């Protein structure tokens, strides 16, 4: 498994938690998405600092909390909804409650592993590296429409594969 694939697998596991953390702190939907993308990019850029002996989710939430505090500590136009102490308490509570990954994550790992390298690269560029469609289209020498359609097919393929996996393995 490449470093990109490892990052994508682990990032997807904690994506909902990160979005929830950002959503709890940032009310404006546009700012929330900008902050989330900034956190995702920071995680990718600093993935080499992640210690694999520790839970990825805890590391990612720590980076997110630090980024949130940095971004909003001096910006009076966008005050924090929660105090810095409350943000840190949220992260600590999430770290304490982190347990075995849900069956869906196991299914996702399985299904991602079945995809061809080109498909995993496309998913990595779009969802791990948050590349715009235009940049991905340029890299793949395709139109933006073709990239959009390929991503739609991949999401549908992953969904179907995960449903089959979960049905066969007693998941939800």
Domain of 22: which CATH number? 1.10.1740
Q: What is the pTM of this model?
A: 0.52
Instruction: Verify that 78 and 135 share a domain, yes or no.
Output: no
Instruction: Verify that 138 and 86 share a domain, yes or no.
Output: no
Per residue in 93-142, pLDDT (tens digit) is: 666 655 555 667 778 888 888 999 999 889 888 877 778 899 999 999 99
Q: How many residues does the structure list for the chain?
A: 172
**Burial of residue 70 (number of CB atoms within 10 Å: 0-12, 13-18, 19+):** exposed
Residue at a domain's end among 70, 98, 126:
98
Which residues are CB-contacts of 104 (< 8 A; sequence separation ≥ 6)?
Answer: 162, 166, 171, 172
Residue at a domain's end among 42, 67, 98:
98
Is residue 53 helix, strand or coil? Answer: coil
| Host domain of residue 121 | 105-169
Instruction: Verify that 77 and 111 share a domain, yes or no.
Output: no
Per residue in 61-86, pLDDT (tens digit) is: 889 988 888 877 766 566 556 666 77
Instruction: Verify that 9 and 65 share a domain, yes or no.
Output: yes
Considering only residues 88 and 120, tell me which one the structure prediction assigns the higher pLDDT. Answer: 120
Per the CB < 8 A criterion, the answer to whether 60 and 14 are in contact is yes
Instruction: Verify that 94 and 115 share a domain, yes or no.
Output: no
Instruction: Verify that 88 and 34 share a domain, yes or no.
Output: yes
Taking the C-alpha atoms of residue 161 and residue 110, their distance in angstroms, rounded to an integer, is 9
Please report which confidence band the pLDDT of residue 172 belongs to, taking 50, 70 and 90 as the band edges.
low
What confidence score (pLDDT) does residue 45 get? 93
Least confident of 13-17, 42-46, 48-52, 72-76: 72-76
Q: Could you give the number of structural domains in the chain?
A: 2
Considering only residues 85 and 40, tell me which one the structure prediction assigns the higher pLDDT. Answer: 40
Taking the C-alpha atoms of residue 70 and residue 68, their distance in angstroms, rounded to an integer, is 5
Instruction: Verify that 86 and 56 share a domain, yes or no.
Output: yes
In 10 A of CB 92, how many CB atoms? 14
Residue at a domain's end among 98, 121, 149:
98
């Amino acid at each position: 498994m490449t470093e990109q694939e490892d990052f994508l697998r682990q990032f997807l596991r904690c994506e909902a938690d990160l979005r929830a953390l950002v959503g709890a702190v940032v009310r404006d939907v546009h700012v929330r998405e900008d902050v989330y993308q900034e956190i995702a990019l920071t995680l990718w850029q600093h993935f080499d600092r992640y210690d694999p002996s520790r839970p990825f989710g805890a590391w990612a939430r720590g980076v997110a909390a630090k980024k949130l505090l940095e971004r909003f500590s001096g910006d009076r136009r966008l005050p924090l909804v929660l105090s810095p102490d409350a943000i840190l308490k949220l992260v600590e509570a999430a770290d304490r409650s982190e347990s075995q990954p849900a069956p869906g994550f196991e299914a996702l790992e399985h299904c991602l592993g079945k995809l061809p390298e080109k498909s995993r690269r496309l998913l990595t560029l779009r969802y791990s590296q948050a590349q715009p469609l235009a940049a991905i289209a340029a890299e793949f020498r395709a139109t933006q429409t073709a990239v959009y359609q390929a991503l739609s097919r991949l999401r549908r393929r992953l969904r179907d594969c995960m449903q089959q996996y979960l049905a066969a393995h007693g998941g939800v």
